[in-house]
Amino acid sequence: MRNAPAENAQASNAEPTAAQMEDAERLMREYGGRSENELMNELISAAAMQRAEGSFDAAGMRKTAELILPMLTPEQAAKLEMILSMMENGA
């Protein structure tokens, strides 16, 4: 039992699971060919719809983004962080 906190700490810093990687790859295939404007419009529409339905999950969105961030350039990561902040603040 003494090792439980250390094990929990390791679990929170664990590498993405195979299922999470598959989800990230699926998203890349689905959205990879779209322009930045198309992606922004899709994101804003999806967030607005989820807010209207009461199903918007900022924490879930952030968790998904954390899977994608390591695959991005520093410029892309900064832009994603900006977008996440906008979405979390209701933009």
Cα atoms in the Cβ-side hemisphere of radius 13 Å centred on 12: 5
Note the pLDDT of residue 72: 86
Note the pLDDT of residue 75: 92
Q: Are 28 and 57 in contact (CB under 8 A)?
A: no
- Tens-level pLDDT at each residue, the chain (91 residues): 344 444 333 344 567 788 888 888 888 888 888 888 888 888 888 888 888 899 988 888 888 888 888 888 999 889 888 888 888 877 5
Compute the chain's Rg from CA coordinates: 16
Note the pLDDT of residue 15: 76
Note the pLDDT of residue 13: 52
